[in-house]
Amino acid sequence: MKPGPSPVETERLAQLLPILLVAAACLFNLLAYAAELVVAAPPVNDDVFHLGLAGRMNAAWEAGGNPLDTWIGYWGQGFPVLRYYQHLPHFVTVLVHRLSGGYVSLPAAYDGLRVLLLALLPLSFYLGARRLGAARLAAACVALCVPLLAADPAVRHFLGFQPRSFLWSGAGMFPQLFAMVLFPLALGGAVRTALGGRGYAPAIAWLAATWLSHLVLGYTACLLGLLVLLHPEASGQRARVALRLAAIYLGTALVASYLLLPTLLESQWLSRSAWEPAEYWDSYGAPQVLAALVGGGLLDGNRFPVLTLLAGLGAAFAAFACLDRQRPDRGFAIVALGIFALGLMLFFGRPTWGRALELLPFSASLPFHRFICAVQAGGILLAGFALARLAERLDWSRNNARAALAGMAALVLLSPAFASTGSLAISNARWRAEAAKAWAAEGGAVDRALSDFAALDRASPGRGYAGASWDWGRDFRVGSVNVYHRWTVHELPAISYMYHTMGLASDLEPYFDPWRRDHHDLFNVRYRLADASQDLPPFAQPRAADPDIAAGVVETEGYFSVVGSAGFFPRPAGDAAMLREFNRAFIAGQWHAADWFVRIGLQPTDSAAPGEIALAPGGPFDFDDPPRGAAPRGRVPESGGAGDVYRARVLLEEPGIVLFRMAYHPHWQALLGGRPVPTFMLSPGYVGVHVPPGEHQIVMTYSPPGWTTWARWTGFAILALVGVAERAGRRSARAAETPSRAGARFRNVPFV
């Protein structure tokens, strides 16, 4: 009889197969999405937004400003997006660019990081599953399932962990991809530290990095981390485990406080977009979510539901493992099943739970559709668990033949998913190459016109318009790339794509009428671009351009002008819809064409000044007939600026208001003749400054308070101190456990 494999050979096989599976999953993603590196296609969708943020961050760094808190003027009348928005992915992109000495461009760094993150994602889930208690093979099977995630593309906000969410042809959710790689490590690290009481610094670092990369995934990781209290190892020490977990969360909050505190303390300047559908914030309700789950829409998309079936089988295996106190992977089974179940309940959202969700911290600001990520994370943990249990039933480690049989069975089982995923990757590469080819052949005319505008903008700053996502701009494209995506590539602000930049004025751009001369002044839209079939407005001065496009410049007043205040409107506390309706009516009316504006009260004590009409919050609002009399007389002979600083020379013949056409924010500081003066909000959400008669120099500077910088460095210092303290503690513990050299030398001497 031929002898079976030795225990050593069996152990080698048990160690080698998981390594091969993880390597295969990483290699699959690397090869599948290498086209993201090879072909330099024009950015589209949210890639435009994220590259714009990275570009502005890099410009602020070069100018000696704060790259993590700078004014972003590209969309929505401007807003300091990075002050409130996850920005670690953008910072790493800029860091790669700068460390290369500029050799690696920002788009190349962005695309390179995207491919690297996709390639590392299976490894991250392997390590995370191991920290959650999975055996090596089960964790490797989880990694094998990661590249195969898909979701129903017909449902707009099924934007989870599936690769399609991050590709060029997808939604461009770069921060979520970045956080996805951190998420398993953060969750696994929090669970392991809470159970064992060691590794606080790494657990805090991973979790804080997840928060700084994607606020919702950081929040989700903290919610799912509570499942550690169900872990078998927590039995008999749950109070201690809860305290350890609380310490991790406290440390995380301190490290991320410089981003979290502005969001909490300055929430009155943030706004939820009116253009997002209800399911974006509320999710879909249990019936639709469960139907999508059973039909494969949450884990498999439109293909044969391989992962869905495996996840269901894994849930059954996990349920039985929960009852078997002797199984070594019982803890992993409990946590995996808990992640899936809790994620599913959260994904049901407000249609199912209603006001009960108010028990969750910050629930009013949570986009519940994003909890699909928790469902998918739990689903692939269960699918990997099922694959490992099936391999266990085949007794795969007995010999090489059984191991090969198990591997072939897994390939056959997963082959539809691999084929579908590979087909998507091939299609993405083809679409990307077609877009790059089309732009190389026909996009030069657009880029030349935009370069011309950029040169003009240095002397006369303004915004651009080449159609938008809600009008004829949908059809003004080169290949598959809309022209309105190109403004930020040339560092030009524009009314273009509906990037919801969170500010109170972010939703006003669709009310811009491209055929009204006064609207060009109101929004400071100076640069017009269209294809040859579109007419420019008659007040636009044509620019020399290629025959296929029409380019023109409108001589607007610029970012500054002298106006008067004829009305007072008290901002309704907590009623963003009322403020938006008021501003919409103002934009549609005629007051601003006569240089009359409305002062918006921001404090409960604000009231109408002499000469101002008190407007009731309830409406209706009628701005068709301007007030009688002329607005304060004055002009702006010179103005300019960019980034965080804008300046102008103004001449007033009588007391008036200097209007600054940027979204109001309390961190805009005004200097009049070198002296600080108060600012206030003017309709439709701009900055106003009272100015006396005479000639003045006015400087507007976005200058955030210094406490956020102190909070950032304090948080990092606390994290470093925790790491040093832990390291010192481990050294002391080893020294106490290790006999002294003398003791070791005389260990066998009777009197020692």
Q: Residue 554: what pLDDT?
A: 96
**Beta-strand pair 494-495/560-570:** unpaired
Question: Which positions of the chain have pLDDT values less than 70?
Answer: 1-14, 395-407, 498-501, 574, 737-752
CA nearest 560: which of 645, 494, 649? 649
Q: Do 549 and 567 lie in a common domain?
A: no
- Asked whether residue 715 is domain-assigned, the answer is no
Q: Residue 120: what pLDDT?
A: 96
- Asked whether residue 2 is domain-assigned, the answer is no
Q: How far is CA 116 from the centre of its chain?
A: 18
Q: Which of 665, 686, 702 is the last residue of a domain?
A: 702
**317: burial class by Cβ within 10 Å (0-12, 13-18, 19+)?**
buried
Q: Residue 744: what pLDDT?
A: 40
Q: Residue 14: what pLDDT?
A: 64
Q: Do 316 and 451 lie in a common domain?
A: no
Q: Do 361 and 213 lie in a common domain?
A: yes
Q: Do 289 and 374 lie in a common domain?
A: yes
Q: Which of 497, 527, 553 is the last residue of a domain?
A: 553
- Asked whether residue 434 is domain-assigned, the answer is no
- Asked whether residue 436 is domain-assigned, the answer is no
Q: Do 213 and 349 lie in a common domain?
A: yes
Q: Residue 1: what pLDDT?
A: 44
- Asked whether residue 124 is domain-assigned, the answer is yes
Q: Residue 292: what pLDDT?
A: 95
CA nearest 502: which of 69, 170, 83? 83
- Asked whether residue 491 is domain-assigned, the answer is yes
**Beta-strand pair 481-482/494-495:** unpaired
Compute the distance between CA of residue 372 and CA of residue 216 in angstroms, rounded to an integer.
11
Q: Do 239 and 285 lie in a common domain?
A: yes
Q: Residue 519: what pLDDT?
A: 97
Segments forming the whole domain that contains residue 672: 560-702
The total number of structural domains in the chain stands at 3
Q: Which of 553, 588, 619 is the last residue of a domain?
A: 553
Q: Do 487 and 605 lie in a common domain?
A: no
Q: Do 521 and 451 lie in a common domain?
A: yes
Q: How far is CA 33 from CA 119, 169, 436, in A?
A: 9, 12, 16
Q: Do 468 and 597 lie in a common domain?
A: no
Q: Do 108 and 126 lie in a common domain?
A: yes
Q: Residue 748: what pLDDT?
A: 35
Is residue 536 within 8 A of residue 582, CB to CB? The reply is: no
Compute the distance between CA of residue 323 and CA of residue 312 in angstroms, rounded to an integer.
17
Q: Residue 738: what pLDDT?
A: 61
Q: Do 526 and 599 lie in a common domain?
A: no
Q: Do 579 and 627 lie in a common domain?
A: yes
Compute the distance between CA of residue 517 and CA of residue 2 in angstroms, rounded to an integer.
92
Strand-pair partners of 68 = none
For residue 501, give both structure tokens.
């930049």
DSSP 391: H
Q: Residue 382: what pLDDT?
A: 97
Q: Residue 749: what pLDDT?
A: 31
Exposure string over 350-369, b if 16+ CB within 10 A, otherwise e: bbbbeeebeeeeeeeebbbb
